[in-house]
Amino acid sequence: MPVISAPYDFNEDELYVDLASMFGHSLFLKCEGFNFAGSIKLKAAIEMVEAAERDGVLKPDSILVESSSGNLGVALSMIAASKGYRFLCVTDSRCNLTTRLMMEALGSQVHVIAGQEANGSFLGARIDYLRALCASDRRYVWLSQYTNPSNWKAHYRRTAPEIARQFPQLDTLFIGAGTTGTLMGCARFFREWHRPVRIVAVDSVGSVSFGGEAGRRMIPGLGMSIRPPLLDESYVDEVIRVEEKDTIRACHSLARNGFLFGGSTGTVVSGAMGWLAEHETAGHTAVALAPDLGERYLDTVYQSNWLQGLYGDDVIEADERASESWAVQPAPPAPASSPSPSPSPGGRRPHMRTGDRGGRRRHRRRTGDP
């Protein structure tokens, strides 16, 4: 029976959903949304705060500041409330209302940036605002999730070993890429592990994290409008890019099976199921990370007016097609390169593919960052 006195002391580490019966391919989805911050960002948040405390950067009169699309902001709000710090979250209009209200309920101040850059991103404006704040008063402490090594170390120390403990025969790990903290922490851990694990990064179409053209992205969590400073592609074997329409279809397919997950989980599941449909071999062990749950997305991913306005009338009706298209195919002829795991040697660029099950790309630019 876990008994806690600080809200960050609890995290459900051992919950996996087996998606085989839903989608026809064996994939264990590690649920990271069962803690008081409601997302995987709790681990990065507490690691960064405690490192800043150890380094003497964070003092009792400090005011924490951070740029976040929401989940890190909620986690930092919770930690700041518990530890007695003030916290100011700098976000933008893509942050959903529930998330903003949660941060405020936890006692944080939320600053919403309105001005979009020419490339559709708010990230530069968020960072400019933070720099100006920090220059104005020495009490401001910016943790900087985009560059802070404690972001990836949290997953090197906690997330990856938890998976390794449960899946000693792990072959492939699918990880969504935002700041790439989760990706880099897990990839570094498994590079040193006793057996090779194929690391597959899942990104959204319109993100420039792994190269490619910037485009509109409306679902927060994954993707960046700049190259993530924490990213070292030599640790990544493959990159899959998923259209937002496919993300929506995967979220709705999961929900119709009673599992209400957040948007980025839909991206990861869609990308992973597409990959497994092409590669699966008998006895293959695959795990994917589900960063949060669906309540925060009721007025976006799960709201029909929002969906129709952005993605057209067919996006929900076409839900069924997503799971149908992942149905097990007859075995293809033996591929030239084996699907068995083989981490890329240092310096190699990961293989990249874009999953597109009919989602037409539109370029009304609006790009979100974690």
Ligand X SMILES: Cc1ncc(COP(=O)(O)O)c(C=O)c1O
Residues that bind ligand X (CB under 6 A): 39, 41, 71-72, 176-183, 221-222, 262, 264, 291-292, 370
What amino acid is encoded at 7 in this protein? P
**What is d(CA 76, CA 148) in angstroms, rounded to the nearest whole number?**
14
Q: Between 71 and 279, whose beta carbon lies closer to ligand X?
A: 71
Q: Between 263 and 341, whose beta carbon lies closer to ligand X?
A: 263
Minimum Å gap between C-beta 136 and ligand X is 26
Dihedral angle, C-alpha 87, 93, 154, 251, nearest 10 °: 140
Q: Between 178 and 206, whose beta carbon lies closer to ligand X?
A: 178
Q: Between 35 and 179, whose beta carbon lies closer to ligand X?
A: 179
Minimum Å gap between C-beta 264 and ligand X is 3
Q: Between 215 and 262, whose beta carbon lies closer to ligand X?
A: 262
Minimum Å gap between C-beta 219 and ligand X is 9
Minimum Å gap between C-beta 330 and ligand X is 34
Minimum Å gap between C-beta 185 and ligand X is 8
Q: Between 179 and 300, whose beta carbon lies closer to ligand X?
A: 179
Task: Sort strands 172-176 and 86-92 into parallel, antiparallel or unpaired.
Answer: unpaired
Q: Between 203 and 280, whose beta carbon lies closer to ligand X?
A: 203
SS (H, E, C) the chain: CCCCCCHHHCECCCCEEECHHHHCCCCEEEECCCECCCECHHHHHHHHHHHHHHCCCCCCCCEEEEECCCHHHHHHHHHHHHHCCEEEEEEECCCCHHHHHHHHHCCCEEEEECCCCCCCECHHHHHHHHHHHHHHCCCEEECCCCCCHHHHHHHHHHHHHHHHHHCCCCCEEEEECCCCHHHHHHHHHHHCCCCCCEEEEEEECCCCECECCCCCCCCCCCCCCCCCCCCCHHHCCEEEEECHHHHHHHHHHHHHCCCCECHHHHHHHHHHHHHHHHHCCCCCCEEEEECEECHHHCCCCCCHHHHHHHHCCHHHHCHHHHHHHCCCCCCCCCCCCCCCCCCCCCCCCCEEEEECCCCCCCCCCCECCC
Minimum Å gap between C-beta 39 and ligand X is 6
**What is d(CA 127, CA 295) in angstroms, rounded to the nearest whole number?**
28
Minimum Å gap between C-beta 192 and ligand X is 19
Q: Between 181 and 271, whose beta carbon lies closer to ligand X?
A: 181
Q: Between 179 and 225, whose beta carbon lies closer to ligand X?
A: 179
**What is d(CA 150, CA 152) in angstroms, rounded to the nearest whole number?**
6
Minimum Å gap between C-beta 1 and ligand X is 29
Return all residues near 258 (Cβ < 8 A) that are at least 6 apart. Answer: none
Minimum Å gap between C-beta 224 and ligand X is 9
The pair of three-digit structure tokens given for residue 186, joined into one six-digit string:
């897990």
Q: Between 181 and 206, whose beta carbon lies closer to ligand X?
A: 181
